[in-house]
Amino acid sequence: MKGGKNEKAKLRDSPQENGVQTNQYSSISPPASPVAQDEPFSTYFEEKVPIPESPNQVFSFRKLWAFTGPGFLMSIAYLDPGNIESDLQSGAKAGFKLLWVLLLATIIGLLLQRLAARLGVVTGMHLAEVCNRQYPTVPRIILWLMVELAIIGSDMQEVIGCAIALNLLSVGRIPLWAGVLITITDTFVFLFLDKYGLRKLEAFFGFLITVMAISFGYEYVLVKPDQGELLKGMFVPYCAGCGPVQLEQAVGIVGAVIMPHNIYLHSALVKSREVDRKNKKEVKEANKYFFIESSIALFVSFLINVFVVAVFAQAFYNKSNMEVNAECNATGSPHTDLFPLNNGTLEVDIYKGGVVLGCFFGPAALYIWAIGILAAGQSSTMTGTYSGQFVMEGFLNLRWSRFARVLLTRSIAITPTLLVAIFQDVQHLTGMNDFLNVLQSMQLPFALIPILTFTSLTSIMNDFANGLMWKISGGIVILVVCAINMYFVVVYVTSLNSVLLYVLSSLLSIAYLCFVGYLAWHCLIALGVSCLDFCSRVRNRPAVLIEEQSEYDS
C-alpha cells in the first residue's frame, strides 16, 4: 500500500534519542491527503501549555499546576447526569451499602485513565489515531461506529439532564421539549469559549465542577447523613440483606462510572502540554504528573458522587410512595401525582430526585439540585463534543470543523430525545437513561481492549510498555468490568419480555461477540500469548517497521 510505504519512509528518518524511539508513534502527524501532508495536524488546540523548568526537584507544584487540566476535563465524565442518576438510585435502593462499589469503580477508572494518558504522552497520538494505524480497514470502521454510538448515547443523557434541570428551575414553565431544543445553544457556547484559549476553557470546566460540588455539597450538609454508616458502606465490601435489586444497582454503578469514550478523550487531552517525547526523562515526568492530577480530579468527582449517594441513602432509603406522596401533598407540591398511593418502595430518577428533595427539605433544595444537574449536563456535553472530534479525526482522518462536528452529534442526539419529550412524559424521558446505560455498557470493550493492547506493545510504547504485573492486573480488571457490564445488558434484555427482541438480541450478540473476540485475540498476543500469533497485524506490523529502522540506522 502507498500509505504503508509513506509510514516506512517516515520511520527511516527517525532514530532513537535519549532512549525513546522517535518513530511513527512519536509523531502527531497521521497519514493525510497529499495536499495536506506537509501541514501540521492537530486534534486539540493550536496552543500548548509550556512546562516550567525545575532541575533536581523530585516534585514541583508549579509543574503540577502546568499539567493540571486534562484530568479534570476527563473527570467530568464521572459526573454526567447518568452517573448522578445512578448515585441517587444506589442511595434510595441500597442505602450506604454500595459505596464501596463506587469507590472500587473509581479506582479501576483511575487505572484505566492512567493507561490512556500514558499512551498519549509516550506516542504523541491518542487512542483513535493508534487504532487507525494498527487495525485493518473493516475492523477500524466497525470500532469507530461503536465508539460513535457510545458518544451519541452519552450526549443523549446530557441533553435529557439539561432539559430536566431547566424544567425544574422554571417550575415547569419550560416544557421538556423546549429544554431539549435549548441545549442546541450548547454548540454556540462551546465554540464561543473555545476562542478564548486552552487554560481559560479548562478554568471554565473547573468552575462547573465547583458548582456541582457546592450544589450537591449543600444537599449533603442539609440532610446530615450518618457518618458512621457512610464510612462503613465505603470501606466494608459487603452488602447485608441485599438481593437482585441491589446487585443490579451495583452493576449499574460500574457501568455508569467507566465510560468508553472517556478513554479516547483522556489520551488526546494530554497532548495539550509541551513534552519533548524524544527525552525519556520528560516523558517519565509527564506520566507522573498526569497520574497525580488524574488522582486528584477523580478524588473530587468521587466526593461529589458520595454526596449524592449519601443524601438519598439518608433521606429516602426504604421510603414508600405513600410516605412521599403525603409529604409532597402537605407541602403543596404540584408533583404529588408522581408518587402513587401504594406502599411500594420509592423509585427515583434525576427528575423525581429534585422533586422529593423539594418536598422534604424545601424549594431551595430543589433549585440547588437542578443547578447541579444543569452544570453536570453542560460540562459533560462539552467534553463529549471533544471526544467526538478526536474519535472522528483519529479513525477517519477527517478534518471537520468543530462547529460541523458538534452540530452533527447534537442533531443525532436531540432527534430521538425530542420525539420522546414531545409525545411522552418525563417518566419515559428519564427511562431512556436505562437503555442508554446499556448501550454504553456494550461499547466498553471497544475502548478497554485496545488501550490495554497498545500500551502493552513495546513496538509502540518502547520502555514505557506495560510490565508483567500491569498486563495481568489490566487483563483481569478489563475481563471483570466487561463481564459485569454484559450481566447488566442481559438483565436489561430479559426484562423486555419480548420473543422478537430476544431473537434479535441473540443474532446481534453473535456478531458482537465475534468482534470482541477479534479484539481480544490481538490483545492476548500483545500480552504475550505468542501461540496465537499466526497472522496478527497488530503484533507484526510495528515489529517489521522497527526492524527496518534498525537496518537503516546500521
DSSP code string of 132-181: HHHS-HHHHHHHHHHHHHHHHHHHHHHHHHHHHHHHHHTTTSS-HHHHHH
- 240 or 300, greater pLDDT: 300
Question: Which letter does DSSP use for residue 531 in this model?
Answer: G
In angstroms, the Cα distances linking 319 to 9, 347, 427, 485 are 68, 9, 19, 28
SS3 of 13-33:
CCCEECEEECCHHHCCCCCCC
pLDDT band at 1 (very low <50, low <70, confident <90, very high): very low
- With 0-12 / 13-18 / 19 or more C-beta atoms within 10 angstroms meaning exposed / middle / buried, residue 240 is exposed
Cβ atoms of 102 and 87 within 8 Å: the answer is: yes
Position 12 pLDDT exceeds 80: no
- As given in the structure block, the three cell numbers for residue 39 are 501541514
The interaxial angle of helices 81-94 and 244-257, nearest 10 deg, is 160
In angstroms, the Cα distances linking 260 to 84, 150, 403 are 17, 7, 23
In this predicted structure, what is the pLDDT of residue 428? 63
**Residue ranges per domain, the chain?**
61-443
- With 0-12 / 13-18 / 19 or more C-beta atoms within 10 angstroms meaning exposed / middle / buried, residue 264 is buried
Strand partners, 21: 16
Half-sphere exposure of 31 (CA within 13 A, CB side): 18
Q: What angle do CA 281, 285, 288 make, to 5 degrees?
A: 145
Position 77 pLDDT exceeds 80: yes
The helix or strand, by DSSP H or E, that contains position 299, with its residue range, turns out to be: helix 280-316
Position 393 pLDDT exceeds 90: no
Give the separation between CA 324 and CA 303, rounded to whole angstroms: 27
Q: How far is CA 487 from the centre of its chain?
A: 20
In angstroms, the Cα distances linking 471 to 8, 181, 399, 422, 516 are 29, 46, 35, 49, 18
Give the separation between CA 273 and CA 275, rounded to whole angstroms: 6
Percent of the chain with pLDDT over 70: 83
Evaluated on CA atoms 105, 388, 123, 31, the torsion sign reads: positive
Percent of the chain with pLDDT over 90: 36
- 22 or 46, greater pLDDT: 46
- As given in the structure block, the three cell numbers for residue 507 are 443474532
Helix, strand, or coil (residue 320): strand
Amino acid at 536: S
In angstroms, the Cα distances linking 23 to 41, 264, 398 are 17, 21, 23
Q: Which of 334, 390, 389, 333 is nearest to 359 (CA)?
A: 333
Q: Summarize the confidence of residues 407-431 as an average pLDDT.
A: 69
Evaluated on CA atoms 544, 549, 550, 554, the torsion sign reads: positive
- With 0-12 / 13-18 / 19 or more C-beta atoms within 10 angstroms meaning exposed / middle / buried, residue 547 is exposed
pLDDT digits (tens, 9 = 90+) for 477-513: 888 888 887 777 777 777 777 778 788 888 888 888 8
Q: Which residue, chain included where needed, has cell 464510612? A: 231
Structural domain 61-443, CATH architecture: Up-down Bundle (1.20)
pLDDT digits (tens, 9 = 90+) for 445-486: 899 999 999 999 998 998 999 988 989 988 898 888 888 877
Position 19 pLDDT exceeds 50: no
**pTM of the model as a whole:** 0.85
Q: What is the DSSP string of 395-443?
A: HH-----HHHHHHHHHHHHHHHHHHHHHHS-HHHHHHHHHHHHHHHHHH
Give the separation between CA 176 and CA 507, rounded to whole angstroms: 36
Position 44 pLDDT exceeds 80: no
pLDDT digits (tens, 9 = 90+) for 177-205: 888 888 777 666 766 776 777 888 888 89
In this predicted structure, what is the pLDDT of residue 436? 77
